[in-house]
Structure 1
Amino acid sequence: MISAGLSLWLIGLFILVGVLIVFGYTWLFNLLTKILVALKFHLAAFFVKRLVLPAAFISAAYSWQHVGQWLTPSLAARMGRIFDATLTFFTVVFFFAFIDGIFLVYYRYKQRPFPLPRLLRGFILTIIYIAVFFIILRTRLAVNITPFLATSALLTAIIGLAFQGVLSNVLAGLSLNLTRAFSRGDWVQIGSHEGVVEEINWRETILLDRATNFVVLPNSLVAGEKIINFSRPDKASALILEIKVSYENKPHLVVHQLLEAAREVPHVLGHPEPQAFIAGYDHLGINYWLKFWVKDFSRKNLILGEVARQVWYKFQRQGIKIPLPFNESFKEMLSTVQPSKALSEAEAAIKTNVAYLLQSAFLRYEEGEKKGELLLPAEEIMTLASKVRRETYTRGEVLFRQGEKGDHCFVVAKGKLRGEIIYEEKGKKYASEFEVGEGGIVGEMSLFTGMPRTATVVVAEEAELLKIMATDFAWLLGRNAQLAEMMAEIVSQRNQKNQDFLRKIQNLSKEDVEESCNSRSILARLRRLMALIKEQEA
């Protein structure tokens, strides 16, 4: 027979052994989880991890029963009831954790958000576990829980007064989850704070802001602030770029350039389409709003900057002026009253254009003994240089798109262009890409033959381009009677060699290809251009 004193020591030892058993089983189940992760069974590891704690207590409860034989019969009977109660409680916990884990794995497998927020789901499970705990106390251990509940009510009141700030955060968190004002992964603005929701827990909401800092906001503060959810009702969010333009620029031209700038930025959505309109007037100029939609709101500032960059280059080429500060306006006014300086700058620009044209592939023989030589004397190229425009384009701008009509071509003075040709072969679509560097020429086929653009050409890096309009080229043809026939012959021979590939290109009809390979058709177009210029001069 074991004495009562010794039994107390055995109970202490018994409890210590039980704790060690729980830790042992917890370690084993965590090891199993790590093995599943190493084997890349991530969903299985996620599921098992949710069952680690209840499974460890259930296994420990079974193990404790074998140790009970060392106690006195009365203590063994009492501890047996405790074992049974513990086993029952954690079996119920295991059951609910198992069901909860199945649903979580299912939604994660389907890559869909779980219907209940994590905070609300945890609150419901906690209420269930507390209710089960009191039921087991009453039924299995015959504990009168009425005094306990009364004491709990008083204790709850005391705790409520002491931790009213914490409780207000918890209740506010539950309210936010029930109303589903935002979810994890949404981009939101809460008061003056903006960022993506990283976590919503019992006490606080955590945002990751644009500076990659964690912003921790108490739920009670969040519930009292104005909340803007940029990810609802869908991921498309509108951004507005405000621009002020001088009164001397025509609104329809400004609006057109603003819309083109937005459309050429890859992250701007095509639907809904960008919008540009006059927002007001003041003493400095006309205020315009450029409104467009993006899906990745985290890149808001980068996209706004990219659109603004495109706008600046387009405004510069079109002569659209942004109102300047007084000192800059004064400098500009001084430059207009110095005609000699302006004249010298114009002459320098023409000389630069001449150098770029003479270094390019424009108007040169493409094959034969004269390959690479000019079709015209250099003096004639110099006269053309006074008419062409040298313009600067930024990365990402689209010069023209496949299938469009074209009345001009470009000579690359500086920078690099990237082109893409979409063609069909045996019912499948393919893309052929190419690059054009300094001295290269693009868009000449449409200028010479009149057929639609055969490629889409985009600026790969900031470039200076010489823009040769059909009118400028017709003027040059009018000064050189034989040039039209020479060009018609050269272009038709080139297209005849590429005729099979031209037939595969989208947006080119059979008639377009045939006419581009016929020297007479090309010559007739060039003569029509010359006739048009003569009519305009007359």
Structure 2
Amino acid sequence: MFFIYNEVLMFFLSTLLPSTIIILIILIAIVLWRRNEFKQNRRIIVSAIITLVTLQLFIYLQGKINPFLIHAPTSNKIIAIITIVFAYATVLQLLKKLVIEFLVTGYKINIPPFILDIINWIVIIITALWFISFLFGIELTGLLVGSTVLSAVIGLSLQEILSDLFVGVVLQMETPFVIGDWVELAGEKGCVVAQSWRTTSIMTHSKNFVIFTNSNVASERIINYSRPNPVQRQDITFGIDENAPPNYVKQVLQESMMKTKGILKDPPPVAHVTAFGDSEVLYTIRYWIDDFSLVEEIQDRVLSLVWYSGKRAGIEPSTPERDVNISIIKIDKELHNETRDVIRSISFLEDLDDAQIKRLADITELKLYTVDEPLVLQGDEGDSVFIIKSGIVGVYIVAKDGSDLRVDERIAGEFFGEMSLLTGNKRTASCIAETEVEVLIIGKEGFVEVLTADPTILQVMLDALDKRRLNLEHKKTADENRLKEKIAAERSSLMLKIKGFLGISL
């Protein structure tokens, strides 16, 4: 009988167990190679190969010393048990890797790693106990009785740790969150980065690594910002001077939020009057996001755009020290000369005389835009020209796949939108501020006033535009006379379109 047991044992150790390890090594290597993750995970492969070689070496030496392992010296039996336990641990680690790769990564089935670790330890302990019983002839009943007493002693001394362990199992079964979720635990907001037998760890927006025991997690309120739906509402409350009309303020706030990258368009952002304070009206802006990891970045964009939009609209935050009145920002007198210099530097306005430049400067608005804020959007109705005083503006068009394609840029001293000012053409591209940008804006209403007072301004502007077009297209054709005739013919139809849009007769 001992001979049969020994043969079965040696077959298991020398053939079945090594073959299992080899097959698992090959399977895992194939999976990792296909996913280009072999280098990051080669440690587990190397460990498995070392275990395999060690096992085979032990079997070879044992066969040379004593073919009957059950009759081998005590030291050999201890080495055998250690080798077998390590081999089993290797097989279980390889199986764990395969389970995680196929079920978790492949099929998105969440299996907590520490649950697999518990299963591994149970299997290893049972294996070790069985081999001890088999090789040393010890009854398992005695071992189990002894282990029961030992477990009771350990349980009494490790109550809190065991409590954390069992609570961790319960948390994994109920899955109030998984690794990668953004949560709030005990007042700390962060992304769940690890969950072990005893603890749960999160990484906050400030990159602080916060560790909670599982029992503490279970006793606190858990707010999950990623489940069941990642869409989250954000509210910000602040005061605006009481002289600003509420409907106008809400319109400006909502328009600025609609331009903010990261805010959902559906449901749309809104602004509400929430209370009255001392010389101020309190407003709450409400918007929705679907990526909580960007909550602070999006809040910065929202508040920045609110400030810049308010500045352009003449809306100021409440300040007890001074009175603030609602008004459109006009060019200050002390900036008037600087404004005229900027206008004169524009190619299609450079031929105007001093009086004409002054008239345009009088109706020009100076506006300030922040980074990533759209000045105009492709397809929008247009009736103004933008002259860049400082900063860089990126020019984007909508590509075939729906993405924004950057095709050009405008810098200080350049302009865009002149045809929208003259004919009301829709914007042919989106212009986005890539730095903080100051622009001078000449709108239709003020422009009509200027033309009514001095119609020759339009002729000068059109002559300059024709000259610029002639210089650009002359590079494409050598027939300058034919090109001039084409531009002159189109000038007549353009004049009719300008008169119709501006509502003037020249």
TM category, shorter: 0.7 to 0.9
Aligned partner of 2:7 in structure 1 is none
Partners of 2:425 and 2:40 lie apart in 1 by: 58
* 2:340 is the counterpart of 1:354: yes
Gap change, CA 1:497 and 1:140, over 3 Å in 2: farther
Contact 1:54-1:94 within 8 A present in 2 as well: yes
Alignment deviations for residues 217-274 of structure 1 (CA, whole Å, 9 cap, x no partner): 2221112111112222244443332232233333333233223333333333445543
1:191 is displaced (CA, Å) by 0.7
Contact 2:269-2:288 within 8 A present in 1 as well: yes
Match of 1:405 among 356, 359, 381: 381
1:116 is displaced (CA, Å) by 0.7
The AA in structure 2 aligned to 1:58 is L
Aligned partner of 1:102 in structure 2 is 98
Contact 1:257-1:315 within 8 A present in 2 as well: yes
Aligned partner of 1:127 in structure 2 is 122
Gap change, CA 1:53 and 1:246, over 3 Å in 2: farther
Alignment deviations for residues 439-465 of structure 1 (CA, whole Å, 9 cap, x no partner): 211111111122211111111221221
Match of 2:410 among 436, 456, 469: 436
Gap change, CA 1:390 and 1:478, over 3 Å in 2: same
Contact 1:474-1:526 within 8 A present in 2 as well: no
* 2:484 is the counterpart of 1:518: no
Alignment deviations for residues 25-74 of structure 1 (CA, whole Å, 9 cap, x no partner): xxxx9xxx9xx99x973376265267468646633541451463499x99
Partners of 1:498 and 1:440 lie apart in 2 by: 16
Aligned partner of 1:246 in structure 2 is 241
Match of 1:455 among 429, 442, 451: 429
Contact 2:185-2:220 within 8 A present in 1 as well: yes
Aligned partner of 1:396 in structure 2 is 372
1:206 is displaced (CA, Å) by 2.0
Match of 1:329 among 322, 335, 340: 322
Match of 2:442 among 434, 446, 468: 468
Contact 1:384-1:476 within 8 A present in 2 as well: yes
The AA in structure 1 aligned to 2:152 is A
The AA in structure 1 aligned to 2:345 is Q
Partners of 1:195 and 1:429 lie apart in 2 by: 31
Match of 1:159 among 138, 154, 158: 154
1:521 is displaced (CA, Å) by 3.3
* 2:208 is the counterpart of 1:208: no
The AA in structure 2 aligned to 1:322 is P
5 Å-filtered alignment, 1:194-205, equals 194-205=189-200
Task: Find the residue that maps to 1:41 and give its secondary structure.
Answer: coil
Aligned partner of 2:295 in structure 1 is 300
Contact 1:276-1:290 within 8 A present in 2 as well: yes
5 Å-filtered alignment, 1:21-60, equals 41-42=38-39, 45=42, 48=45, 51=48, 55=52, 58-59=55-56
Partners of 2:63 and 2:489 lie apart in 1 by: 97
| TM-score between both structures, scaled by the size of structure 1 | 0.73
Partners of 1:164 and 1:108 lie apart in 2 by: 32
Gap change, CA 1:418 and 1:81, over 3 Å in 2: closer
Task: Find the residue that maps to 2:244 and give its secondary structure.
Answer: coil
Partners of 1:207 and 1:156 lie apart in 2 by: 32
5 Å-filtered alignment, 1:111-260, equals 113=108, 115-138=110-133, 142-260=137-255
Contact 1:471-1:529 within 8 A present in 2 as well: no
The AA in structure 2 aligned to 1:126 is W
Paired residues in the alignment total: 461
Structure 2 residue runs of 5 or longer lacking an equivalent are 1-24, 474-485
Contact 2:236-2:286 within 8 A present in 1 as well: yes
1:405 is displaced (CA, Å) by 0.9
1:137 is displaced (CA, Å) by 4.6
The AA in structure 1 aligned to 2:307 is W
Contact 1:488-1:522 within 8 A present in 2 as well: no
The AA in structure 1 aligned to 2:424 is G
Of residues 256-265 and 173-182 in structure 1, the stretch that sits farther from structure 2 once superposed is 256-265
1:411 is displaced (CA, Å) by 1.3
Match of 1:285 among 270, 280, 285: 280
Gap change, CA 1:434 and 1:202, over 3 Å in 2: same
| TM-score between both structures, scaled by the size of structure 2 | 0.77
Contact 2:394-2:409 within 8 A present in 1 as well: yes
1:397 is displaced (CA, Å) by 1.5
Aligned partner of 1:26 in structure 2 is none
- Percent identical among aligned pairs is 23
Contact 2:271-2:283 within 8 A present in 1 as well: yes
Contact 2:240-2:317 within 8 A present in 1 as well: yes
Query: What is the root-mean-square deviation in Å for CA atoms of aligned residues?
Result: 4.1
Partners of 1:515 and 1:289 lie apart in 2 by: 54
Match of 2:72 among 47, 60, 76: 76
Partners of 1:423 and 1:465 lie apart in 2 by: 27
Task: Find the residue that maps to 1:241 and give its secondary structure.
Answer: strand
Contact 1:279-1:288 within 8 A present in 2 as well: yes
Task: Find the residue that maps to 1:322 and give its secondary structure.
Answer: coil
Gap change, CA 1:442 and 1:147, over 3 Å in 2: same
Partners of 2:159 and 2:489 lie apart in 1 by: 86
Structure 1 residue runs of 5 or longer lacking an equivalent are 1-28, 334-342, 365-373, 500-513
